[in-house]
């Protein structure tokens, strides 16, 4: 019997519901929708997620609220017997400027409830995170941390579509093809 082997899981974090659609907390979903244009997401009620599979890579958008994201991630991890190192999570980060991207591995949750949930369910922090900045500098050059449930402006959504999402796609390809260390050296220094 043929068995589908999943090599990489890519998770975009967000909250379900139209009221959260374009919020900062949903940048993981927004980015996946930009990278995977014109696809029909399939639904897994059992895993509480939307998914798209392509060449050994599964992309998921958990359909739980952020603080329960780990349920969906651990469901896929167990289903395919994935190592946590083969999981890439895209999420918002209020400690980074909007348009700034950092790759992290085997680090704490940084106060992010979605990441905390994933760590609790996987019983590991050894997964790759693509942290996407959502904060801005004020007129005094001080980092201003916005409400993560606040919506992006139309202009910000255009920047995410035209600049950030293609950059994240490049980061993902680098992680998969060259490994996380090379990707970190290449993209974290920007």
Residue of 47, 110, 60 lying closest to 88 (CA atoms):
60
How many Cβ atoms from other residues are within 10 Å of residue 79's Cβ? 15
> Is 25 considered catalytic here?
yes
* Opening angle at CA 34, ends 151 and 97, nearest 5: 50
| Percentages (nearest 5) of helix, strand, coil residues in the chain | 40, 25, 35
Phi, psi at residue 31, to the nearest 5°?
-65, -45
**Residue pair 156/24 in contact by the 8 Å Cβ criterion:** no
d(CA 160, CA 24): 11
Active site residues: 25
């Amino acid at each position: 019997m043929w068995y589908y082997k999943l090599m990489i899981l890519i998770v975009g974090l967000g909250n379900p519901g139209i009221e959260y659609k374009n919020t900062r907390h949903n940048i993981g979903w927004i980015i996946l929708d930009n990278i995977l244009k014109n696809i029909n997401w399939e639904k897994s009620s059992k895993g509480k997620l939307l998914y798209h599979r392509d060449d050994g890579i599964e992309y998921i958008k958990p359909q739980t609220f952020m603080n329960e994201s780990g349920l969906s991630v651990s469901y896929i991890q167990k289903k395919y017997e994935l190592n946590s190192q083969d999981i890439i999570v895209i999420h918002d980060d209020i400690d980074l400027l909007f348009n700034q991207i950092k790759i992290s591995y085997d680090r704490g949750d940084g106060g992010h409830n979605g990441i905390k949930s994933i760590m609790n369910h996987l019983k590991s922090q050894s997964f790759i995170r693509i942290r996407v900045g959502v904060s801005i500098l004020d007129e005094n050059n001080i980092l201003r941390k916005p409400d993560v449930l606040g919506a992006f402006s139309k202009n910000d959504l255009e920047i995410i579509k035209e600049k950030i999402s293609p950059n994240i796609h490049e980061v993902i390809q680098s992680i998969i093809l060259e490994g996380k260390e090379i990707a970190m050296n290449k993209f974290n220094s920007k």
